[in-house]
Amino acid sequence: MESLPLPRRTPFWRTHGQKLIALLIWALLLGGYGLYSWANGLTLERSLQEVLALLATPYGPLLYLLTFLIRPLIFFSVGIMCIMGGVIFGAGSSTNLLIALAYTVVGVICSSTISFAIGRFLGNGVMVGGKQKANHLLQRYAQRLRANGFLTVLSMRLLLLPFDLVNYAAALMAVDWKAFLLATAVGVLPSTFAFVSFGAAIDMRQLAAGQSPQIDPKMILFAVCLFALSLLISHWYKRRMVA
Q: If residue 46 lies in a helix (H) or strand (E), which one and from where to where?
A: helix 44-55
DSSP secondary structure letter of residue 209: T
State residue 221's pLDDT score: 83
State residue 222's pLDDT score: 79
State residue 181's pLDDT score: 93
State residue 46's pLDDT score: 63
**Closest to 141 measured CA to CA, from 158, 131, 128, 132:** 128
Long-range contacts of 27-32 (CB under 8 A, 24+ apart): 29/74
State residue 135's pLDDT score: 46
State residue 114's pLDDT score: 92
Domain boundaries, the chain: 43-242
State residue 141's pLDDT score: 56
- Residue 170 and residue 174: Cα distance in Å, rounded? 6
In terms of DSSP H, where are the helices of 94-216? 94-122, 137-147, 149-158, 163-172, 177-187, 189-200, 204-208
- The rounded average pLDDT for each run of 10 residues, N- to C-terminus, in the chain (243 residues) is 52 58 60 63 60 75 90 84 88 87 94 91 60 51 70 84 89 87 91 89 66 72 80 72 59
State residue 132's pLDDT score: 46
Sorted by sequence, the CB contacts under 8 Å of residue 162 that are 6+ apart come out as none
